[in-house]
Amino acid sequence: MARKLAKSTLDRFQKRLEAEKTRLEELIEEYERELEVARLTESSSDRSPDPGNAEASSMKMEYAKELSIEQNTADLLSKVDHALGRVASGDYGICESCGKSIPIERLDVLPYSTLCVDCASKSS
């Protein structure tokens, strides 16, 4: 059976997860502001490039990159939220697949991890 984390250890991870959640939410807001500024700049009459020119292609690539970064950040935020839910339910630190304890060392590196090393390697 999996061992429960000590309250002090659980509190430490909860604080790390909450800080990471705040950081990720701020990053997403920043990405959205930057994309909106870029959209407004592009749609202004003095900056509307011909869709076939290099500047338009460069802008499209930049949008795609920003959207990809934002999506990766949102995915990570989802994992952090899920981990915080596991803290609240008392399941944090227990592998969702096999039910064994997730080593503290793994949680130190990936505090949002929900799988032990063995199960994570099987799922990838």
Q: For 31-42, what is each residue's pLDDT tens digit?
A: 888 888 877 776
Please report whether residue 46 resides in a domain. no
Please report whether residue 48 resides in a domain. no
Domain that holds residue 118: 7-41+53-123
Cβ contact 2:95 at 8 Å: yes
81 or 46, higher pLDDT: 81
Q: What is the CATH number of the domain that holds 101?
A: 1.20.120.910
Please give the tally of structural domains in the chain: 1
Which one, of 69, 64, 68, lies nearest residue 24 by Cα?
A: 69
Mean pLDDT, residues 62-68 taken together: 74
Q: For 4-18, what is each residue's pLDDT tens digit?
A: 899 999 999 999 999
